[in-house]
């Protein structure tokens, strides 16, 4: 393939750290690793288009020796075992695509130093890479490219193409790239094919192909967006909650996952502050299952805004954790005899059910009696809050119990 027909990202791939754009927070460490007398096995972790494979290739070439570059989804271990016979350095893209059992293949190779592994992953290695393999690799965490870094890359790319886009058009492409250098260069190549009029910033949006915001449903972005959505609801910020909801759905997130998070939020963060929030969240889940996407965003948006605006109380969530801690710390205590069901005559002889007071037989369907096991009488796990519906519910309880 001639130079002109190679992808732009390949044509301008840097060959030294001096030409490498981005990752300034790692610059000194990268320089030290490249200058070391022996190359260490490394794991480059970061989002797509941040320079992971470029750095791996750069290090392999700088240290000499035979190197092989493969992608985990495209090579089986049997085939890989043959290919690395005369290889000093293995560049392995998407290491996380190998199963945990397959990752064990590399352990003896790294232990004996038969091969140097330069691997890349877009997924958090704490979850996607085995602990044994991780202990044999130096992990370098890379960041998405920043606005100025993307602009520098765009300038380099259009210089290679002989392209001269208006500054505003270039900034627009950088925004669309979302920190991904490869996406930016692909957009530049697309813009090269447009007419001069279509490269105008006002027309460029409609001229470009539909941009699909990159989703990382199995990696950090998936959990970061979910966390941001729930924290925005918890913080009663409907605008931020809607933004993260849209971010998740536009990245291709499974709406059923979003529904499950909203059901949990309605119980954990809103709880008795507004008990109807859980009903709405479950109804939203059913609605999304019924109508599907893309219209499913409508009940999802309604539910997200309602949850964000609802009064918050985590009292029931905290109460369960307190009860859980008591059991884990001190063990489960026997159920009081009067609460046990006397299902046999022997049970009756042992005193099961003796002295139990049936609440419906008393005015207001309430009677005071002890329900907690011996040693826990008077213990309070539930600590009510003065939020939403909870004061009304608490007032009813206080009118009957002395411990509140």
pLDDT the model gives residue 205: 78
The topology (CATH level 3) of 23-141 is Rossmann fold (3.40.50)
Q: What average pLDDT does this structure show over 349-363?
A: 90
Quick check: 220 pLDDT over 80? no
Q: Which residues contact 348 (CB under 8 A, 6 or more apart)?
A: 342, 354
Q: What percentage of residues in the chain have a pLDDT greater than 70?
A: 94
Domain boundaries, the chain: 23-141, 147-207, 220-309, 327-398
H or E stretch at 85: none
Quick check: 210 pLDDT over 70? no
pTM of structure:
0.63
Confidence of residue 154 (pLDDT cuts 50, 70, 90): very high
What is d(CA 123, CA 139) in angstroms, rounded to the nearest whole number?
Answer: 12
Please name the residue ranges forming H helices in 46-105.
52-62, 77-83, 100-103
Q: Are 110 and 40 in contact (CB under 8 A)?
A: no
CB neighbours of residue 371 within 10 Å: 10
pLDDT the model gives residue 386: 83
CATH number of the domain at 327-398, please?
Answer: 1.10.3710.10
Q: Estimate to the nearest angstrom the gap between the alpha carbon of 104 and the chain centroid.
A: 25
Confidence of residue 24 (pLDDT cuts 50, 70, 90): very high
Confidence of residue 200 (pLDDT cuts 50, 70, 90): confident
pLDDT digit string, tens, across residues 245-255? 998 888 778 89
Q: What class, spelled out in words, does domain 220-309 have in CATH?
A: mainly alpha
Quick check: 213 pLDDT over 50? no
Quick check: 113 pLDDT over 90? no
Backbone angles phi, psi at 91, to 5 degrees: -95, 115
Q: Do domains 220-309 and 327-398 have the same CATH topology?
A: no
């Amino acid at each position: 393939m001639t130079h002109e027909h190679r992808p732009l990202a390949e044509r301008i791939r840097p060959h030294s750290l001096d030409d490498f754009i981005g990752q300034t927070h790692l610059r000194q460490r990268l320089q030290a690793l490249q200058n070391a007398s022996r190359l260490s096995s490394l794991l480059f972790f970061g989002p797509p288009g941040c320079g992971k494979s470029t750095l791996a290739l750069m290090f392999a070439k700088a240290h000499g020796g035979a190197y092989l570059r493969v992608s985990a989804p495209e090579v089986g271990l049997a085939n890989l075992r043959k290919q690395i016979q005369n290889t000093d350095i293995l560049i392995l893209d998407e290491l996380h695509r190998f199963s945990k059992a397959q990752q064990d293949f590399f352990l003896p190779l790294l232990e004996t130093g038969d091969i140097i592994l330069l691997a890349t992953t877009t997924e958090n290695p704490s979850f996607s890479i085995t602990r044994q393999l991780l202990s044999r690799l130096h992990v370098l965490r890379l960041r998405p490219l920043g606005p100025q870094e993307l602009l520098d890359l765009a300038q380099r790319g259009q210089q290679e193409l002989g392209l001269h886009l208006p500054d505003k058009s270039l900034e627009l492409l950088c925004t669309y790239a979302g920190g991904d250098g490869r996406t930016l260069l692909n957009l530049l190549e697309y813009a090269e094919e447009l007419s001069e009029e279509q490269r105008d910033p006002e027309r460029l949006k409609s001229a470009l192909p539909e941009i699909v915001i990159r989703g990382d449903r199995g990696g950090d972005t998936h959990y970061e967006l979910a966390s941001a959505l729930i924290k925005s609801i918890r913080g009663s910020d409907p605008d931020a909650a809607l933004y993260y909801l849209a971010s998740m759905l536009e990245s291709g997130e499974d709406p059923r996952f979003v529904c499950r998070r909203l059901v949990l939020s309605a119980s954990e963060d809103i709880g008795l502050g507004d008990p109807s929030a859980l009903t709405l969240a479950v109804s939203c889940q059913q609605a999304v299952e019924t109508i599907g996407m893309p219209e499913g965003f409508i009940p999802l948006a309604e539910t997200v805004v309602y949850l964000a605006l609802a009064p918050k109380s985590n009292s029931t969530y905290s109460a369960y954790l307190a009860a859980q801690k008591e059991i884990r710390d001190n063990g489960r205590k026997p159920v009081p005899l009067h609460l046990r069901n006397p299902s046999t005559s022997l049970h009756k002889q042992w005193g099961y059910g003796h002295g139990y007071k049936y609440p419906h037989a008393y005015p207001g369907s309430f009677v005071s009696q002890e329900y907690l096991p011996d040693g826990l009488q008077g213990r309070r796990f539930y600590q009510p809050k003065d939020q939403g519906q909870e004061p009304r519910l608490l007032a009813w309880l206080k009118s009957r119990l002395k411990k509140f």
